[in-house]
Structure formats: structure tokens, C-alpha cells
Structure 1
Amino acid sequence: MSSTAEQAQFGGFWQRRVVAPIVGQLKQGITPEKIALTLALGAVLGIFPILGSTTILCALVGIWLKLNQPVIQLVNYFMYPLQIALLLPFYRAGESLFGQPHVPIFSVNQLTQRFQASPMQFMVDYGMVGVYGIVVWALVAPPLIAALYYGTRPLLRALARRSQ
């Protein structure tokens, strides 16, 4: 496939799966500010350092703040590769923050296998590492949410003007 064809395919995907739902929300009267908040929270909750928890987190926060569930879950879904990439950095930063030795973590697959083999032993071995990662995420989350919110809000306002 040529580079131009790949760009057209990606542009079509991006248009259909990201831009069109957002424009649809704007046309239904949802404010750019509410959509910016939904995008920011979906992105930051989507990198929460505990696998399998982000869908529930996004759903609960979305219900609590009356945010659009499909949009927050879509953003959460797109964040999955970044969540995987950030697991180890969050865990290592947390261990360093708390002055703890690094617990050996070789791969996500190995962690999954160990959890499936014995959930209780997994919690004994890795529970505090998860807590340390959550603390680092909690320190990073507020400024990241603010940056994403204030960064996307002008773009969404312009999109709202253009779509009317």
C-alpha cells in the first residue's frame, strides 16, 4: 500500500471514529468544554497503571460527571497501547519514590500468567508495586488532565464554530 493510500485510510479512520462522533456531540448541543473534559479524563484514566480497570474507572467518572460514555470509552480504548508502555515506568518511579527495591517484572504476559495461576500470591508479590504506580499516576494525573483540557478546548471551540 502506498504512503498516500495509507494516509487516506488513516484519515478516513480518524474522521469516522474520532472526529465524526465529536462533531455529532457538538451538533447535539454538548459544549466544547464538556467534550474537552471527556477527552482529557478518558485519556488520563486510560493510562491508569492497573490493567483491566480503566473501563470501569471511565464508566464511573463518566456517570458521576455526566460525560458522554461512548466518547470517554473510545478515548480510553485508544490509550491502551500507551497504558501498556507506561506500566513499568509508573511502577519503577513509584518504587523509587518510596525508596523500595525494584520487584522483577519481565513482561505483561508473565504478569498475566502469574495472576491467573494464583491471584492471592500475585497480590502478595506485586500488590505494593501497583500501589506505588497508582501514587505516581495520581501525582501526574491532575496536571496532565489540565494540560489536555486546556489544550483541546480551543480546538473543539473552533470545530464547533466550523460545524454549525
Structure 2
Amino acid sequence: MAIWMSGLASWFNKKLIDPLLQIVKRGAEPKQLAFSTALGVTLGVFPICGVTVFLCGAAIALLGNRCHAPSVMLANFVATPIELSLMIPFLRLGEIISGGPHFPLTTDALKKVFTGQASRDVLLSIVHALLGWFVAAPFILGALYIAFLPCFKYLVHKFSSLPPSPKKPVYPQAEIKLKVRDV
């Protein structure tokens, strides 16, 4: 048992703690880290497996410097087990919102899915799960941002080796004068 626990602790440190500390030590802003992490988790719980990495990549490309790409991807990685556990709640939320039929999660329904007899029902359940996620995603993002912001403020203050980036430019724009040369 002790060997298994030490292996789990080693994996946890190597895959989660060390990358998080590297991110924090590089001097990113706590607000950017909180937003990026919340975005990564929110996209990471998207109810279709295998799509979350592409969603995170698209979000990083669209947001550019407004998000911190390593934080988004690390949060996406951490959210994978949560993704699997939230598929049913998203499905049920989508069914409630749309007023659609209840998709039965029984062994008979699973047999129909594997034999291809329930393809319309499966497609409808995927649409319901997506609807549930689309409705819940803004609330998840907002709640996680509010929860992560004080955590990242503390972590950046405690572990950052770089001074925080300045809020205002060092030289105000009024003082900057360009020299123009005639060639």
C-alpha cells in the first residue's frame, strides 16, 4: 500500500504540482491565471470526450495574450475525470430545459446503443447534454474565476520569483518622442 501511495504522490507532484509551480513562478498576473484556469476547466468538462483539447486550442488562438495557454491546458487535463462525472447532469439539465424525453440509462438502452437501434435517441441525448453544458458553462466559468482568483493571488505572491508586471507603462506616452531623420 505504501508503494502505491508513494507512486501516486510522485505522479501527482510530477503532473500537477510541478507544472503549476512553474506557471506561477514565471510571473503571470493572478487575474489572467484565474481566468485561464477557469476557462480550461469549463472547456474541459465539455460533454463530448476527445473534443476538449481542440476547444482549448481554439480558445487560446482566439484569446491570444488575454489567456495563459499552459494554464488552460493544465486545467483541461485536470478536468478530465470531472468531465466524465458531469455528462449525466448535463444530459438531465438539457432534457429539463428542452422538455425533451428522458433518455433511459439502463442495460437495455445500452444494448440498443451498441446494436444501432437507438441512434436517434443517442443523438438527441448528445444534443441535450450539449444544451445543458451551454447553459451551465457561463456559471461554471464565473464561479471558478471567483474561486481561483484569491488562490492565484496567494500563490503568485508566495512563489513568484519575478516582480509583478506593471499596471502602467514605465514611460508615459507624453514623454515618448520619436526622432525623425531625413534620409
After TM superposition, the score normalised by the length of structure 1 is 0.77
SS of match in other structure, 1:102: coil
Q: Point out where structure 1 has 5 or more consecutive residues left out of the alignment.
A: none
Alpha-carbon distance between aligned partners in 2 of 1:69 and 1:40, rounded to the nearest angstrom:
12
SS of match in other structure, 1:59: helix
Alpha-carbon distance between aligned partners in 2 of 1:19 and 1:156, rounded to the nearest angstrom:
14
Q: 1:106 to 1:52 in 2, by over 3 A?
A: farther
Q: CA deviation at 1:104?
A: 3.1
Pair 1:147 & 2:140 matched: no
SS of match in other structure, 1:38: helix
Q: CA deviation at 1:13?
A: 3.7
Cα shift readout 1:69-113 (whole Å, capped 9, x = no counterpart): 343222212222221121122112211222222123448xx59x7
Pair 1:130 & 2:126 matched: yes
Tell me which of 51, 56, 59 is aligned to 1:58.
Answer: 56
Alpha-carbon distance between aligned partners in 1 of 2:37 and 2:62, rounded to the nearest angstrom:
15
SS of match in other structure, 2:104: coil
1:1-164 superposed matches below 5 A: 1-2=1-2, 6=5, 10-66=8-64, 67-106=67-106, 110=110, 114=114, 122=119, 124-163=120-159, 164=161
Q: 1:26 to 1:82 in 2, by over 3 A?
A: closer
* Higher fraction of helix: 1
- Bigger Rg, which one: 2
Q: What letter is aligned with 1:133?
A: A
Segment of structure 1 superposing worse, 73-82 or 33-42: 73-82
Do the aligned residues in 2 keep the contact of 1:22 with 1:35 (CA within 8 Å)?
no
SS of match in other structure, 1:138: helix
Partner of 2:171: none
Q: Point out where structure 2 has 5 or more consecutive residues left out of the alignment.
A: 162-183
Q: CA deviation at 1:57?
A: 0.7
